[in-house]
A and B are shown apart, each in its own frame.
Chain A
Amino acid sequence: SQTIHQWPATLVQPVGSPLSLECTVEGTSNPNLYWYRQAAGRGLQLLFYSVGIGQISSEVPQNLSASRPQDRQFILSSKKLLLSDSGFYLCAWSVGGSNQPQHFGDGTRLSIL
Chain B
Amino acid sequence: GQSLEQPSEVTAVEGAIVQINCTYQTSGFYGLSWYQQHDGGAPTFLSYNALDGLEETGRFSSFLSRSDSYGYLLLQELQMKDSASYFCAALNAGNNRKLIWGLGTSLAVNP
Contact = CB atoms under 8 A, between A and B. Distances in A.
Interface of A: 32, 42-44, 46, 49, 51, 57, 90, 94, 97-107
Given A43-B103, A99-B91, A101-B48, A94 B97 contact: yes
A99 B101 contact: no
A26 B2 CA distance: 32
Interface residues on B, range: 20 to 34
A103 to B, nearest CB: 6
Interface secondary structure of B, over-half rule: loop
Contacts of A44: 43, 87, 101
Contacts, number: 49
B95 A43 contact: no
B45 A103 contact: yes
A68 B43 CA distance: 23
A59 to B, nearest CB: 8
Contacts of B35: 104
B50 A99 contact: yes
Nearest to B34: A101
